[in-house]
């Protein structure tokens, strides 16, 4: 497979104070494609928002006219014909020494504004809206689109959302995403994606790579981590209820229990669950999540392969299931999830660095936003 060209498609941005809500807050001009990069790194992941990139080139005799890039420019990063990131140039870093000149450019996806900037909403309160509706209204201020993955169940409207002064949009939405057991990360076009993060039919990993990774075939290097320090044999989620004075059942200080049979000795962990009416159900979900997430994160594989693409020519992407067969790591064949991918090219060649984990590592934690009866998507874990 021929090596992909690396292209930066850059446009100059000018602030547009008259932009309509939901439209970009800038106009663009002077579009140009810049190629010839000798080094590239693009990183994307389920828990990486925003995605980011770094490109550079080095040569003995530098011509300033070759690179016309300014911090704040709109940029698309293309690997071959595939757009892998749409965002803005953060930094332009020229340097030189006695032997060579180097230009280095870094940037992040459009969703950087959701992480860096504060939510801007008159009154600071939103009522009776679904999460995708809330996301679209908050992100529209910065001209960022919001999408919902196919098959994703958004859930019922949130009765009330209070936005704290100075709170970043991503912080608000991440809190809501966990409330509905959703994943929240950016897409190559710069939009924000909401996707199910549970174990149901529309859960994470709805797409599978056409080919996997097999020792001795397409794995340049690999390492595994099997850990026990983050796991516990028994989990108690304690519901410190508000209804301790009731003379009927389901009073306060109830305990939801779950055990991890894979832990070979007693290791006990207690968790304070949400303090709301009906919290016994939430407490059980909280205990199940704690077990599932800690078990999932106790096993991970990091590997490098000499291609950015699977056998069908599709780029390896986060939230994609992939088969792995790595007996040298004492790992039986598995179908796990690509959690993070970094596309690399430098003087050592082309490679993709991937972090691969069991899918349950990304079951979002249930939280309760306000002291009202909870309405939380079931988080499926062990004994649930």
Reported as a single tens digit per residue, the pLDDT across 317-339 is 998 999 999 999 988 899 999 99
pLDDT score, position 372: 44
207-226+298-362 and 114-196 share a CATH fold? no
- The ranges assigned to domains in the chain are 6-109, 114-196, 207-226+298-362, 234-297
Q: What CATH superfamily is the domain 6-109?
A: Baseplate protein-like domain - beta roll fold (2.30.300.10)
pLDDT mean across residues, the chain: 85
This model's pTM is above 0.75:
yes
Contact 183, 364 (CB under 8 A): yes
Running DSSP on this structure, what letter comes out for residue 86? E
pLDDT at 198: 52
**Is the C-alpha dihedral spanning 103, 108, 112, 115 positive or negative?**
negative
User: How many other C-beta atoms lie within 10 A of the C-beta of residue 30?
Assistant: 11
Binning pLDDT at 50, 70 and 90, where does residue 222 land?
very high
Q: What is the pLDDT of residues 133-151, one digit of tens each?
A: 999 999 999 999 999 988 7
Distance CA 125, CA 127 (A): 7
Q: Across the chain, how many H-helices and E-strands are there? A: 4, 22
Looking at domain 114-196, does it have CATH number 3.55.50.10?
yes
Q: What is the rounded CA–CA span in Å between residue 274 and residue 150?
A: 31
CATH top-level class of 207-226+298-362: mainly beta
Burial string for 192-202 (b: 16+ CB within 10 Å, else e) reads bbbbbbbbeee
d(CA 138, CA 318): 25
Express each pLDDT in 272-289 by its tens digit.
Answer: 875 555 556 767 777 887
Give the Å distances, CA to CA, from 56 to 5, 37, 78, 107, 190: 14, 6, 14, 12, 22
pLDDT for 27-79, tens place per residue? 999 999 998 898 999 999 988 999 999 999 876 555 655 667 899 999 999 99
Measured over the CA atoms of residue 110, residue 111, residue 116 and residue 121, the dihedral's sign is: positive
């Amino acid at each position: 497979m021929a090596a992909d060209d690396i292209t930066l498609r850059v446009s100059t941005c000018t602030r547009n104070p008259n932009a309509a809500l939901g439209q970009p807050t800038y106009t663009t001009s002077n579009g140009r494609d810049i190629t010839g990069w000798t080094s590239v790194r693009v990183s994307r992941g389920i828990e990486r928002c925003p995605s980011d990139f770094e490109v550079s080139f080095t040569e003995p005799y530098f011509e300033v006219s070759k690179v016309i890039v300014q911090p704040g420019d709109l940029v698309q990063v293309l690997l071959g014909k595939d757009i892998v990131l749409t965002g803005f140039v953060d930094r332009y870093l020229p340097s030189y020494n006695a032997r060579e000149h180097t230009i280095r450019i870094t940037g992040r996806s459009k969703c950087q504004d959701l992480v860096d900037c504060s939510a801007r909403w008159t009154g600071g309160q939103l009522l009776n809206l679904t999460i995708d509706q809330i996301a679209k209204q908050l992100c529209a201020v910065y001209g960022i689109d919001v999408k919902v993955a196919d098959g994703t169940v958004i859930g019922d409207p949130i009765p009330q959302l209070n936005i704290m002064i100075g709170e970043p949009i991503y912080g608000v939405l991440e809190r809501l995403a966990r409330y509905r057991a959703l994943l929240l990360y950016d897409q190559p076009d710069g939009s924000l994606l909401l996707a199910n993060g549970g174990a149901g039919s529309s859960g994470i990993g709805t797409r599978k790579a056409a080919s996997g990774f097999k020792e001795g075939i397409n794995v340049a290097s690999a390492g595994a981590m099997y850990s026990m320090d983050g796991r516990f044999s028994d989990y108690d989620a304690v519901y410190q209820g508000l209804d301790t004075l009731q003379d009927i059942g389901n009073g306060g200080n109830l305990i939801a229990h779950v055990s991890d049979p894979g832990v070979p000795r007693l290791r006990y962990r207690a968790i304070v669950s949400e303090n709301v009416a009906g919290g016994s159900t939430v407490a059980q979900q909280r205990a199940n999540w704690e077990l599932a997430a800690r078990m999932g994160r106790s096993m991970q594989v990091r590997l490098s392969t000499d291609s950015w693409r699977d056998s069908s020519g599709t780029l390896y992407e986060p939230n994609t299931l992939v088969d792995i067969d790595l007996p040298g790591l004492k790992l039986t064949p598995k179908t796990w999830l690509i959690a993070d991918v970094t596309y690399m090219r430098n003087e050592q060649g082309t490679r993709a660095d991937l972090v691969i984990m069991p899918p349950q590592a990304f079951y979002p934690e249930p939280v309760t936003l306000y002291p009202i009866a909870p309405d939380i998507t079931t988080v499926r874990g062990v004994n649930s």
